[in-house]
């Protein structure tokens, strides 16, 4: 902004010409203006000119306004007033003055630039798009002023509009390192990293020792997955700018993406040491600790972020996840309400206009309660156990959930009615999001809600599947190796079929639970003799699973479905598991029939698959040999 002010000061001085020049301007005016007014106007303008030269903006503005009041009003004088008002911080008056100029000179690029600058600094955005669109279509001679507009738009967060301005500036001066750099930064902010890389590479070529450019270029490379190149640049940058917190911050980000988490923590600590209130660095340090299951250190970072910025929704949400993963259910459920302020997938934040939210304190006896499902299918299957608790309090429970669950919920205890999400919900006394039930009910630990018996498959469908699967001595397995790709953690939880298939055995009848099988996967499945049943709803999946001996799956809705149906389910978990699976234990507080197979710190699936394969072999031997039937299942720790 200092550069902008300096440029405007120069423009104001140029616009305010000598008194002789102003006298000639006045002479050309209508002679109805009296000689006394002319003389006063000239003296006022002369005084304004001198005040401007002396840097006395206040008196310069007073002088010009007095000259205008006495009839001396030319385009140069109005422009000078607009420039000086801007320098004085009188942005509202800048808009008024430039509007007056634009009435007479609609194609005045300078007036339009000043109007845009004032609008941005006033936080007014209603006219910005139209003004910038008009500006870029004009012939612009003042490149410095144009660049100042682009910089101000960028700093105001209007990155798309800034790019439009920098595009025009780049035509005027194609080799300008500054223009390329600023435009590249805007592309970075908009997530257009290819264009950012192009601009920032050219800018850095012109100024190869510019650390700020290295940093911005590295951000683009990082987001394009060019991690080695980004790290190489940042290694140079941290040597040349050891006191730049942002360089250390981005250095940490790249190391974290390279799974070099210990180094990332050190870089974040350097950034925080240089800028103690650097919220992004503290927050990312917390994320890195969490990814190493250093929960106490992660919580310390999240708490520090919230002390600086109490409205930091993502820190509050991650604090909730950390707290639940650590098994502090009571504190975790209270913090879990932070989920409405962040984007975590599934359904959007829930509100039911005109229906009060049940707090847990109001009596439910004889009252109707709308329970609204949220997030993924697995979450809904897991939390439907609490509906029975509501029924036990005398509530008439309606579930509002996605259509795919409708038939399954015919077998859920405590449900009086099911309404598809998107339909008009019925009149009801209260509503509550489903995952808020533990806190509202005071059922803080999983054991406080029904663990078994709250979900049953349709007996008719079960009979149909049992007839289809009858015969043979082989173990019947259901398998699922990947979850929904829309889940933010899917890359960690899903396993390539070629890896997952290593636990398959010819001595098992294996059934694919995945609703959608890709072409390459279908070939792999058929090569391993896996039955592909095709797409089915959750009610059919429940009936099939009830007819199986074991379900082997990654952390998907099928894990919850099998667990809720009390079918033995072996769940393969990434090193950093979802909060509900806790740490270290091989059994689950949510599902008594579940066995948890966890990645170790190497985050390698091979060891997990080998463990599953060994336990499966023991089960097969138990099935084959009557003498081995007394063998226990997988050892639990």
| 486 or 501: which leads in pLDDT | 501
Lowest mean pLDDT, pick from 1-5, 61-65, 454-458:
1-5
85-90-93 Cα angle (round to 5): 80
581-604 mean pLDDT = 94
Q: What CA–CA distances, in Å, run from 56 to 1, 50, 98, 373, 548?
A: 19, 8, 22, 65, 87
Which range is most confident: 367-371, 418-422, 488-492? 367-371
- Maximum distance among all Cα pairs of the chain, rounded to whole angstroms: 123
Q: Where are the domains of the chain?
A: 368-448, 459-628
Residue 172 has pLDDT above 80, yes or no: yes
55-73 mean pLDDT = 81
* Cα separation, 584 vs 600, whole angstroms: 10
Lowest mean pLDDT, pick from 31-40, 45-54, 236-245, 597-606:
31-40
- Asked if 98 contacts 82 with a C-beta cutoff of 8 angstroms, the reply is yes
Which structure tokens are listed for 94?
């800048």
Which structure tokens are listed for 173?
């001066």
pLDDT score of 535: 81
Tell me the pLDDT band of 2, cut-offs 50, 70 and 90: low
Global pTM reads 0.85
pLDDT-above-90 percentage for the chain: 65
Residue 15 has pLDDT above 60, yes or no: no
pLDDT in tens, 334-370: 999 888 877 654 445 677 788 999 999 999 999 999 9
**pLDDT averaged over every residue in the chain:** 88
Helix (H) or strand (E) holding 89, with range, is none
Which class in CATH covers the domain with range 368-448?
A: alpha beta
Measured N-to-C along each axis, helices 128-135 and 159-172 cross at an angle, to the nearest 10 degrees, of: 10
Burial 298-331 (b: 16+ CB within 10 A, else e): bbebbebbbeeeeebebbbbbbbbbbbbbebbee
pLDDT score of 636: 45
pLDDT score of 24: 46
pLDDT score of 23: 43
Residue 35 has pLDDT above 90, yes or no: no
230: three-class secondary structure by DSSP: helix
DSSP state at residue 529: T
Tell me the pLDDT band of 634, cut-offs 50, 70 and 90: low
Residue 229 has pLDDT above 90, yes or no: yes
Residue 632 has pLDDT above 70, yes or no: no
Which structure tokens are listed for 415?
């449900």
Tell me the pLDDT band of 582, cut-offs 50, 70 and 90: very high
Residue 256 has pLDDT above 80, yes or no: yes
Residue 197 has pLDDT above 90, yes or no: yes
| 348 or 385: which leads in pLDDT | 385
pLDDT-above-70 percentage for the chain: 91
Tell me the pLDDT band of 393, cut-offs 50, 70 and 90: very high
pLDDT in tens, 424-463: 888 999 999 999 999 999 988 888 888 788 999 999 999 9
Tell me the pLDDT band of 487, cut-offs 50, 70 and 90: confident
- Asked if 420 contacts 403 with a C-beta cutoff of 8 angstroms, the reply is yes
Which structure tokens are listed for 454?
């709250």
Facing residues of 423 across strands?
421
Which structure tokens are listed for 299?
């919580």
pLDDT score of 637: 42
pLDDT in tens, 525-579: 999 999 998 788 999 999 999 999 999 999 999 999 999 999 999 999 999 999 9
- Asked if 551 contacts 567 with a C-beta cutoff of 8 angstroms, the reply is yes
* Nearest C-alpha neighbor of 432 from the set 369, 345, 361: 369
Q: What CA–CA distances, in Å, run from 296 to 278, 289, 301, 462?
A: 20, 8, 9, 46
pLDDT score of 10: 54
Helix (H) or strand (E) holding 108, with range, is none
CATH architecture of 459-628: 3-Layer(aba) Sandwich (3.40)
* Terminal-residue alpha carbon distance, the chain: 63
* Nearest C-alpha neighbor of 400 from the set 355, 431, 362: 431
The count of other CB atoms within 10 Å of the CB of residue 577 is 20
Lowest mean pLDDT, pick from 20-29, 493-502, 563-572:
20-29
Would 368-448 and 459-628 be classified into the same CATH topology?
A: yes
DSSP state at residue 81: H
515-524 mean pLDDT = 87
pLDDT score of 30: 44
Per-state percent for the chain, helix, strand, coil, to nearest 5: 60, 10, 35
Tell me the pLDDT band of 496, cut-offs 50, 70 and 90: very high
496-517 mean pLDDT = 92
């Amino acid at each position: 902004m200092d550069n902008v002010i300096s440029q405007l000061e120069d423009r104001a001085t140029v616009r305010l010409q000598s008194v002789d020049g102003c006298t000639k301007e006045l002479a050309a005016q209508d002679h109805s203006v009296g000689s006394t007014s002319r003389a006063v106007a000239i003296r006022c303008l002369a005084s304004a000119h001198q005040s401007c030269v002396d840097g006395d903006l206040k008196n310069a503005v007073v002088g010009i306004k007095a000259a205008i009041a006495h009839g001396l009003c030319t385009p140069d004088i109005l422009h000078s007033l607009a420039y000086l008002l801007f320098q004085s911080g009188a942005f509202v008056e800048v808009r008024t003055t430039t509007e007056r100029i634009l009435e007479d000179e609609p194609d005045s690029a300078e007036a339009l630039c000043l109007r845009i600058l004032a609008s941005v600094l006033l936080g007014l955005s209603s006219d910005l798009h139209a003004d910038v669109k008009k500006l870029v279509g004009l012939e612009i001679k003042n490149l410095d002023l144009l660049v100042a507009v682009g910089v101000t738009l960028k700093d105001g967060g209007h990155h798309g509009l800034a790019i439009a301005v920098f595009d025009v500036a780049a035509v005027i001066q194609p080799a300008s390192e500054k223009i390329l750099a600023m435009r590249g930064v805007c592309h970075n902010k908009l997530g257009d990293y290819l264009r950012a890389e192009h601009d920032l590479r050219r800018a850095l070529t012109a100024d190869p020792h510019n650390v700020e450019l290295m940093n911005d270029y590295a951000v683009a490379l990082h987001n394009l997955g060019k991690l080695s190149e980004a790290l190489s640049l940042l290694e140079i940058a941290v040597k040349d700018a050891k006191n730049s917190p942002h360089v250390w911050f981005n250095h940490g980000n790249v190391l974290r993406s390279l799974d070099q988490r210990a180094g990332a923590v050190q870089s974040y600590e350097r950034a925080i040491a240089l800028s103690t209130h650097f919220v992004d660095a503290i927050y990312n340090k917390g994320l890195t600790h969490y990814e190493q299951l250093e929960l106490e250190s992660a919580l310390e970072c999240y708490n520090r972020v919230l002390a600086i910025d109490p409205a930091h929704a993502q820190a509050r949400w991650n604090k909730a996840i950390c707290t639940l993963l650590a098994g502090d259910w009571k504190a975790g459920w209270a913090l879990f309400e932070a989920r409405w302020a962040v984007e975590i997938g599934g359904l959007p934040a829930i509100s039911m206009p005109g229906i009060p939210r049940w707090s847990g304190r109001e009596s439910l006896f004889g009252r109707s309660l709308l329970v609204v499902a949220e997030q993924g299918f697995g979450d809904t299957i897991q939390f439907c156990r609490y509906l029975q608790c509501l029924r036990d309090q005398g509530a008439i429970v309606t579930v509002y959930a996605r259509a795919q669950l409708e038939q399954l919920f015919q077998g859920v205890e405590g449900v009086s009615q099911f309404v598809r999400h998107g339909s008009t919900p019925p009149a009801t006394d209260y509503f509550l999001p489903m995952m808020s039930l533990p806190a509202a009910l005071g059922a803080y630990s999983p054991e406080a809600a029904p663990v078994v018996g709250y979900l049953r498959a349709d007996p008719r469908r079960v009979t149909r599947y049992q007839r289809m699967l009858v015969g043979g001595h082989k173990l019947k397995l259901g398998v699922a190796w990947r979850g929904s790709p829309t889940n933010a953690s899917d890359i960690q939880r899903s396993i390539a079929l070629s890896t997952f298939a290593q636990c398959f055995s010819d001595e098992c009848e294996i059934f694919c639970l995945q609703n959608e099988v890709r072409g390459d996967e279908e070939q792999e499945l058929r090569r391993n003799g896996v039955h592909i049943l095709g797409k089915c709803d959750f009610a059919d999946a429940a009936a099939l699973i009830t007819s199986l001996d074991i379900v082997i799956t990654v952390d998907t809705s099928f894990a919850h479905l099998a667990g809720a149906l009390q079918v033995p389910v072996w769940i393969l978990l990434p090193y950093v598991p979802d909060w509900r699976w806790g740490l270290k234990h091989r059994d689950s507080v949510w599902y008594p029939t579940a066995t948890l197979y966890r990645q170790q710190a190497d985050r390698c699936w091979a060891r997990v698959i080998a463990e599953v394969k060994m336990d499966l072999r023991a089960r097969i031997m138990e099935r084959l040999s009557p003498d081995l039937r007394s063998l226990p299942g997988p050892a639990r720790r």
